[in-house]
Copies of this chain bind each other. A is one copy, B any other.
Amino acid sequence: MEIDHEPAATQNKAELLLARGWGWLTGLLGKCMNKAVKVAKSTKKLGQDDPRRVIHSLKVGLALTLVSLIYYWRPLYDGFGVSGMWAVLTVVVVFEFTVGATLSKTLNRGFATFFAGALGLGAQHLACLFGERGQPIVLGTLVFLLTAASSFTRFIPRIKARYDYGVLIFILTFSLVTVSGYRIEEILQLAHQRSSTILVGGATCIIVSIFVCPVWAGEDLHKLSASNLEKLSNYLEGFGGENTEGVLVSDDDKALLQGYKSVLNSKSTEELSANFARWEPGHGRFQFRHPWKQYLKIGGLARKCAYHIEALNGYNINSHIQEPSEIQNKIRESSKKMSSESSKALKELALAIKTMADPSAANPHVENSKTAINDLKTALKAATLENVDVLEIIPIASVASILTEITRCVEKISESVHELADLAHFKSVDPTVSPEKPQLLHRGTVKPVLLEGDSDSDDHVVITVHENYVDSRENEVSQAPYTAQRLGQV
Can you give 27 contacting A-B residue pairs, CB < 8 Å? A53-B152, A61-B148, A64-B144, A65-B140, A68-B139, A72-B182, A88-B175, A88-B176, A92-B172, A93-B172, A244-B482, A246-B451, A248-B482, A254-B482, A265-B265, A314-B480, A316-B485, A316-B487, A320-B485, A380-B394, A391-B488, A394-B400, A395-B489, A397-B397, A397-B398, A398-B398, A398-B402
- Assuming the contacts A58-B148, A143-B65, A481-B313, asked whether A320 and B460 have C-beta atoms less than 8 A apart, the reply is yes
Q: Among residues 296 to 329 in chain A, which have CB atoms less than 8 Å away from a CB atom of chain B?
A: 303-304, 307-308, 310-311, 313-317, 319-322, 327
What residues on B are CB-neighbors of A327 within 8 Å?
390
**Residue A386 interfacial (CB < 8 Å):** yes
Q: Among residues 240 to 264 in chain A, which have CB atoms less than 8 Å away from a CB atom of chain B?
A: 244, 246, 248-249, 254, 257-258, 261, 264
| Cα A380 to Cα B380 with chains together (Å) | 20
| Cα A140 to Cα B136 with chains together (Å) | 43
| Cα A480 to Cα B313 with chains together (Å) | 9
- In the complex, the answer to whether A171 meets B395 with C-beta atoms within 8 Å is no
What residues on B are CB-neighbors of A183 within 8 Å?
71, 77, 82
**Residue A199 interfacial (CB < 8 Å):** no
* Residue interface mask A53-95, B partner, CB < 8 A = 1: 1101110111011001001100001000010010011001100
- In the complex, the answer to whether B310 meets A391 with C-beta atoms within 8 Å is no
* Residue interface mask A469-490, B partner, CB < 8 A = 1: 0000000010111110111111
What residues on B are CB-neighbors of A139 within 8 Å?
68
- Assuming the contacts A151-B61, A391-B380, asked whether A479 and B143 have C-beta atoms less than 8 A apart, the reply is no
Q: Among residues 123 to 156 in chain A, which have CB atoms less than 8 Å away from a CB atom of chain B?
A: 136, 139-140, 143-145, 147-149, 151-152, 155-156
**Residue A186 interfacial (CB < 8 Å):** no
What residues on B are CB-neighbors of A442 within 8 Å?
none
**Residue A180 interfacial (CB < 8 Å):** yes
What residues on B are CB-neighbors of A68 within 8 Å?
139-140, 143, 175, 179
The residue among A383, A450, A481 with the most chain B CB atoms within 10 A of its own CB is A481
What residues on B are CB-neighbors of A89 within 8 Å?
172, 176
What residues on B are CB-neighbors of A65 within 8 Å?
140, 143-144, 147
* Residue interface mask A383-409, B partner, CB < 8 A = 1: 101101011011111101110010000
| Cα A388 to Cα B316 with chains together (Å) | 26
Closest Cβ of chain B: how far from A49's Cβ, in Å? 9
**Residue A189 interfacial (CB < 8 Å):** no
- In the complex, the answer to whether B489 meets A93 with C-beta atoms within 8 Å is no
- Assuming the contacts A385-B388, A461-B391, asked whether A315 and B400 have C-beta atoms less than 8 A apart, the reply is no
Closest to A54 in B: B152
- Nearest first, the 8 closest Cβ-Cβ pairs linking A and B are A311-B311, A246-B452, A61-B148, A398-B401, A57-B152, A57-B151, A61-B144, A394-B397
Closest Cβ of chain B: how far from A23's Cβ, in Å? 31
What residues on B are CB-neighbors of A248 within 8 Å?
482-483
**Residue A32 interfacial (CB < 8 Å):** no
**Residue A432 interfacial (CB < 8 Å):** no
| Cα A47 to Cα B268 with chains together (Å) | 24
- Assuming the contacts A60-B147, A244-B482, A390-B385, asked whether A182 and B400 have C-beta atoms less than 8 A apart, the reply is no
What residues on B are CB-neighbors of A451 within 8 Å?
246
- Assuming the contacts A307-B311, A316-B487, asked whether A64 and B147 have C-beta atoms less than 8 A apart, the reply is yes
What residues on B are CB-neighbors of A486 within 8 Å?
314-316
Q: A72-B182, A88-B175, A319-B452 are in contact. List 12 more A-B contacts (CB 8 A).
A: A53-B155, A57-B147, A61-B147, A71-B182, A92-B172, A254-B479, A258-B477, A316-B485, A316-B487, A380-B390, A385-B390, A391-B461
What residues on B are CB-neighbors of A398 within 8 Å?
397-398, 401-402
What residues on B are CB-neighbors of A257 within 8 Å?
482
- In the complex, the answer to whether A320 meets B452 with C-beta atoms within 8 Å is yes
* Residue interface mask A438-467, B partner, CB < 8 A = 1: 000000000000111000010011000000
- In the complex, the answer to whether A310 meets B313 with C-beta atoms within 8 Å is no
What residues on B are CB-neighbors of A92 within 8 Å?
168, 171-172, 175
Closest Cβ of chain B: how far from A398's Cβ, in Å? 4
| Cα A487 to Cα B395 with chains together (Å) | 6
What residues on B are CB-neighbors of A144 within 8 Å?
61-62, 64-65
What residues on B are CB-neighbors of A64 within 8 Å?
143-144, 147, 171, 175
**Residue A423 interfacial (CB < 8 Å):** no
| Cα A175 to Cα B86 with chains together (Å) | 11
What residues on B are CB-neighbors of A308 within 8 Å?
310-311
What residues on B are CB-neighbors of A46 within 8 Å?
152, 155-156
